[in-house]
């Protein structure tokens, strides 16, 4: 897709051509056998289908375009050795196009999942709980805007790169978060979204190895994903402190540590690297009691200094509770404004419970339960709430 989009300069045309090529493959491969390079075959076939179509539809402008493309093709065939390199560059171009700031963030997410994640419009619509027709319209509108507004299909220049990269990393991390903690529904985790985000993260790290935040994001996702199975044991949500640490994915943790060491050597900290470091500290502790909360608090302080947000302040308060007690932590939480976030209420309820203020804790758990849209997390909060009454 990415290769063809560059070649044709039009995402919709590329998509139709790829679909036609797959249809031809379905007819031909069972009889003739699978060609030695299936991906290459699809690209070549789709390229020819698109050229045919441009010639057929033949307004003069299209014929001129087809002729130009044909000339370009002959030229590019001379450089077949760099083909693999081109494919990687094309992915990078496509992701920057999908995450262009002139597109609304929901359109960026949908386009990235559709064009780079290869998810169907149906799957994306289901994930975001909108009707399929709404999602189809959102995607086709975004594609039309890319074409009509002339959103370029290229990697931004050095001066623009940091700001543009931030948008790309945010889209990838949003996809990951939607997978790791489904914002709604019965399932706690959507593994396909996590895997897809990590795959995109790896791709970005391979394409932009000099960008420490790209490496940091990949490390962060690997650390969090390592706990994916432990977090949903036996169909129930398990909080970090109670997880079976032996079931954490050690390969992911090792890779995350390796990436984090690269970041440390470069010493260009950023929000994703710091969050990865915090998660590394959790992963380093053989038991919950061994967790180095001092180190975690220090990292949160650094994070608050470069990227302050109410969510970071809330997480910092959790570390404070471990070090200085729930009383101090509660005072910090009461200064944070996050009334719509269920975890804000869950954290506050937990502090109140620890302080023995059962009635206040119960009321707070009720709000948390009300605000929580994920069934498994809600069940967990209900269990916490009930255990309060048992005492």
Partner 1 sequence: MKQYLLSVCYPAGGSQPAPAALRKIMSDVTALQKEMQSAGVWVFSGGLHAADSATVLRHQNGDIVLTDGPFVESKEQIGGITIVTVADLDAALFWARKLASATTTPIEVRPFTEYGD
* Structure token pair of residue 386: 């009930």
Contact residues for 358 (Cβ-Cβ < 8 A; gap 6+): 352, 388, 391
Q: How far apart are CA 141 and CA 121, in angstroms?
A: 13
Using the rule CB under 8 A, is 61 a contact of partner 1?
A: yes
DSSP category for residue 131: -
E-only strand ranges, the chain: 232-233, 236-237
- How far apart are CB 348 and partner 1 at their closest, in Å? 40
Q: How far apart are CA 385 and CA 210, in angstroms?
A: 48
Report if residue 150 touches partner 1, rule: CB under 8 A: yes
Q: Among 362, 356, 354, which Cα is nearest to 382's?
A: 362
158 is a contact residue toward partner 1 (CB under 8 A): no
Among the residue ranges 59-67, 80-88, 233-241, 290-298, the one whose residues contact partner 1 (CB under 8 A): 59-67
CB 72 to partner 1: min, Å: 17
Q: Which is nearer to partner 1, 156 or 185 (CB)?
A: 156
Q: How many CB atoms sit inside 10 A of residue 379's CB? A: 17
CB of 61 to partner 1, least distance (A): 3
Instruction: Work out whether 67 is an interface residue with partner 1 (CB under 8 A).
Output: no
148/335 with CB nearer partner 1: 148
Q: Can you tell me which of 23, 34, 39, 102 binds partner 1, judged by CB under 8 A?
A: 102
Instruction: Output 55 or 328, the one with its CB closest to partner 1.
Output: 55
DSSP-assigned states of every residue in 233-281? ETTEE--GGGS-GGGS-HHHHHHHHHHHHHHHHHT---HHHHHHHHHHH
Least spacing, CB of residue 251 vs partner 1, in Å: 40
Q: Which of 151, 281, 312, 313 binds partner 1 (CB under 8 A)?
A: 151
User: Cβ closer to partner 1: 157 or 290?
Assistant: 157
Considering the complex, state which of residue 30 and residue 150 has its C-beta at the smaller distance from partner 1.
150
Number of residues interacting with partner 1: please give it, by CB under 8 A.
Answer: 13
Q: In the Cβ-directed half-sphere of 334, how many Cα atoms lie within 13 Å?
A: 8
Closer to partner 1 by CB, 145 or 371: give it.
145
Q: Is the dihedral of CA 137, 140, 144, 145 positive or negative?
A: positive
- CB closer to partner 1 out of 39 and 149: 149
Residues engaged in binding partner 1 (CB under 8 A)? 59-62, 100, 102, 148-152, 156, 160
């Amino acid at each position: 897709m990415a290769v063809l989009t560059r070649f044709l300069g039009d995402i919709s045309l590329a998509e139709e051509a790829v679909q036609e090529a797959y249809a031809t493959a379905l007819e031909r491969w069972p009889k003739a056998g699978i060609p030695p390079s299936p991906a290459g075959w699809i690209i070549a076939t789709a390229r020819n289908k698109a050229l045919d179509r441009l010639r057929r539809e033949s307004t003069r402008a299209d014929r001129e375009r087809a002729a130009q493309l044909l000339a370009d093709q002959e030229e590019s065939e001379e450089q077949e050795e760099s083909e693999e390199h081109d494919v990687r560059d094309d992915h990078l171009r496509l992701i920057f196009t999908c995450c262009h700031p002139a597109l609304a963030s929901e359109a960026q997410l949908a386009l990235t999942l559709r064009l780079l994640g290869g998810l169907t419009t149906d799957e994306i619509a289901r994930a975001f709980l909108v009707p399929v027709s709404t999602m189809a319209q959102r995607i086709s509108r975004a594609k039309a805007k890319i074409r009509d507004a002339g959103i370029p299909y290229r990697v931004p220049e050095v001066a623009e790169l940091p700001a543009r990269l931030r948008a790309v990393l945010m889209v990838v991390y949003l996809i990951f978060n939607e997978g790791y903690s489904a914002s709604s529904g019965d399932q706690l985790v959507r593994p396909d979204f996590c895997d897809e985000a990590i795959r995109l993260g790896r791709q970005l790290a391979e394409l932009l190895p000099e960008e420490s935040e790209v490496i940091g994001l990949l490390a962060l996702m690997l650390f969090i994903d390592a706990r994916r199975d432990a977090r949903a044991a036996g169909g129930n949500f398990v909080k970090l402190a109670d997880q079976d640490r032996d079931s954490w994915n050690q390969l992911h943790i090792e890779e995350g540590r390796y990436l984090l060491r690269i970041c440390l050597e470069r010493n260009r900290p950023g929000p994703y690297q710091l969050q990865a470091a915090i998660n590394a500290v959790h992963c380093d502790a053989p038991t919950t009691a061994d967790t180095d909360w001092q180190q975690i608090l220090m990292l949160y302080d650094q994070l608050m200094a470069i990227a302050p947000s109410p969510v970071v302040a809330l997480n910092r308060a959790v570390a404070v509770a471990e070090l200085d007690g729930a009383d101090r932590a509660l005072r910090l939480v009461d200064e944070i404004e996050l009334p719509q976030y269920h975890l804000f209420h869950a954290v506050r309820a937990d502090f109140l419970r620890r302080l023995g203020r059962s009635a206040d804790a119960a009321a707070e758990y009720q709000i948390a339960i009300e605000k929580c849209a994920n069934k498994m997390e809600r069940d967990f909060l209900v269990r916490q709430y009930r255990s309060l009454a048992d005492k």
